[in-house]
């Protein structure tokens, strides 16, 4: 193991070197000693096995449990930072992506999500920090951190999940009443919509899509009155949405409160904006 890179959802993350490769290969390693985190790493390894073989999904290189009670997840190394840095740090002073710059990234994320669903897996924690980039190609990306991933049976399968997991800002409205049951694929599409909107606008739409968040309550009221999602979000600040009509339509479909009416990943990939 080399220098620490930080903490993932369920363990420490290190830069490591595979000395058996020729030439030696840099990899990322997740390590955990806590029982609960070790189980999450096992779960992540199982999910990565299921979705293996896609160019826009991080590759699982090895999974090891030591006799000393440590669990290691070895992953391919991405040296270009995450999408948050690309969208909000490297774009200074604008602090947002143009539609032209965002489109290839947005499409590749959708392709990764479609592949996951084709293997019966839903990610459930899509966010900027879980999209890693290549140092060589500004549009090459890898979807990472499958610790919250779950089985995602194809429709018309009933609601099968009852745990409200994810990162607050990206969690769909149905996750806040998760005990009633929900289908996982629309949850990914909502988070995807939050990510796309934030990429183009430079600001997050809300803190959480729940009744305790006044911004989300105003958003709900506005869309109930007939406004599209993008117009509703900009209208709260007495601003006109600057996105192109196709981009607005794309995001409006994803940020649909009714999970059954929300745009699907397949519909996104067929959308004129992409």
Tell whether the torsion through CA atoms of 89, 103, 112 and 170 is positive or negative.
Answer: positive
Q: Over 60: is that where the pLDDT of 5 sits?
A: no
Q: What is the pTM of this model?
A: 0.90
Each residue of 98-109: pLDDT tens digit?
A: 999 999 999 999
| CA distances from residue 173 to 167, 189, 260 in whole angstroms, order as listed | 12, 12, 12
Q: Which residue has the tokens 């769909």?
A: 172
Pick 84 or 137 by higher pLDDT: 84
Pick 83 or 46 by higher pLDDT: 46
Q: Over 60: is that where the pLDDT of 268 sits?
A: yes
| CA distances from residue 107 to 73, 74, 146, 260, 268 in whole angstroms, order as listed | 28, 27, 20, 22, 8
**Which residues, at least 6 apart from 23, have a Cβ–Cβ distance to it below 8 Å?**
none
73 pLDDT tier (thresholds 50, 70, 90): confident
CA–CA separation, 75 and 236 (whole Å)? 42
β partners of residue 250: none
Please give the average per-residue pLDDT across 137-164, as a whole number: 83
CA–CA separation, 217 and 78 (whole Å)? 38
Q: Over 60: is that where the pLDDT of 158 sits?
A: yes
pLDDT given at position 70: 77
Q: Which two tokens stand for residue 154?
A: 């194809």
130 pLDDT tier (thresholds 50, 70, 90): very high
pLDDT given at position 107: 97
- Annotated binding-site positions: 30
Specify which of 132-136, 142-146, 189-193 reaches the highest per-range mean pLDDT: 189-193
- Annotated binding-site positions for ATP: 30
Q: Is residue 42 within 8 Å of residue 59, measured between CB atoms? A: no
Cα Rg of the chain (Å, integer): 19
pLDDT given at position 6: 59
**Which residues, at least 6 apart from 169, have a Cβ–Cβ distance to it below 8 Å?**
127, 194, 204, 206, 207, 208
pLDDT given at position 113: 98
pLDDT given at position 57: 96
pLDDT given at position 232: 98
Q: Is residue 199 within 8 Å of residue 227, measured between CB atoms? A: no
Which domains does the chain carry? Answer: 4-76 (3.30.200.20), 83-269 (1.10.510.10)
């Amino acid at each position: 193991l080399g220098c620490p890179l930080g903490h993932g959802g369920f363990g420490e993350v290190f830069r490591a070197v595979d000395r058996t490769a020729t030439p030696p290969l840099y990899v990322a390693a997740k390590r955990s000693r806590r029982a609960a985190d070790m189980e999450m790493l096992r779960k992540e390894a199982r999910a990565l096995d299921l979705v293996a073989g896609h160019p826009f999904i991080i590759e699982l290189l090895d999974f090891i449990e030591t006799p000393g009670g440590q669990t290691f997840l070895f992953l391919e190394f991405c040296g270009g930072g995450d999408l948050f840095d690309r969208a909000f740090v490297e774009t200074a002073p604008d602090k947002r992506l143009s539609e032209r710059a965002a489109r290839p990234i947005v499409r590749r994320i959708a392709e990764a999500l479609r592949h996951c669903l084709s293997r019966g897996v839903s990610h459930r924690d899509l966010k900027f920090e879980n999209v890693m980039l290549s140092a060589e190609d500004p549009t090459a990306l890898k979807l990472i951190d499958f610790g919250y991933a779950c089985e995602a049976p194809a429709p018309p399968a009933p609601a099968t999940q009852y745990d409200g997991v994810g990162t607050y800002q990206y969690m769909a409205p149905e996750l806040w009443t998760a005990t009633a049951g929900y289908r996982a694929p629309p949850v990914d599409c909502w988070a995807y919509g939050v990510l796309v909107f934030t990429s183009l606008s430079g600001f997050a739409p809300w803190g959480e899509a729940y009744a305790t968040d006044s911004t989300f309550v105003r958003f709900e009221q506005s869309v109930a009155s007939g406004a599209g999602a993008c117009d509703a979000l900009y209208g709260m600040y007495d601003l006109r949405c600057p996105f192109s009509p196709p981009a607005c339509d794309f995001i409006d479909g994803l940020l649909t409160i009714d999970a059954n009416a929300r745009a699907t990943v397949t519909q996104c990939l067929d959308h004129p904006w992409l």
